[in-house]
Amino acid sequence: MRHFYNNARNVTGEDFLKYLSNTYQLPKADRCALYGFFQRFRPGGDDLERVFSNISNGEKYLSRLKPIFDPKNANTGDRVDMYFIVRVPDESDESKIIGFGKEYFARLVRLATIIDDKSLSEYLSSITEVVIGRDMKYKLGTDQYAIVYHVILDWIIEERNFDDPIYQLDEAYYSIACDPWLQNYLMWPQFEGKGFEDVFEPYYWLWKSGYECYFMEGKIILSRR
């Protein structure tokens, strides 16, 4: 079993990037070159431990990422997906899905009190229901989505430590599913010690259950992908 250095404070972002470049023979030592990086570990996530073995909180990042490589969602036949897709969702009845959505909403509300942004607080306070959607034509990029996305992204930029080695994997995490909320969940250990609630954990529950979350006027709609 690989040893994790949980106190590896001396590993810089540059060190980590060089390590990844040399270990995995990347075309260049550039974090943008890591777009699609985790796809090379499909289907089972073998040897992922080596990626995180020399950075602080490596075990915590690994424990969040490894379940993404669920064998039941692996490609079949000759087709290879560019991104990670939940082919076989976790079994959850609609009451459980609603529970996930309400918990996600509650955690966003609590985060909004920390961020203290008027537009985010006003939008979240206008939400009166979290419902299961029956229509497959919901728009993801609504004005309401833009408020939530941009305010939270700006807050994350303010709070994160860009010298932390995990920042070098930013593109790699985003390109797992081109999903910023999933990315936030997987990279959340970077905020350890700051006292922040694990806001995006319920979103991860929705994701692996095969549901998308739509921010609409006055409501949150949960719909199958």
At residue 113, does pLDDT exceed 90?
A: yes
Q: Is the peptide bond before 67 cis (omega within 30 degrees of 0)?
A: no
Task: Classify residue 216 by its DSSP letter.
Answer: E
Please say whether the beta carbons of 43 and 69 come within 8 A: yes
Rounded Cα distance between 196 and 188, Å, is: 9
pLDDT per residue as tens digits for the range 58-107:
999 999 999 999 988 887 667 778 999 999 999 889 999 999 999 999 99
Rounded Cα distance between 162 and 14, Å, is: 11
Rounded Cα distance between 38 and 48, Å, is: 8
pLDDT per residue as tens digits for the range 188-211:
999 988 999 999 999 999 999 999
Q: Which of 122, 184, 177, 176 is nearest to 149 (CA)?
A: 184
pLDDT per residue as tens digits for the range 56-65:
999 999 999 9
Q: Which of 218, 217, 181 is nearest to 198 (CA)?
A: 181
State the pTM of this model: 0.92
Mean pLDDT over all residues of the chain?
92
pLDDT per residue as tens digits for the range 140-152:
889 999 999 999 9
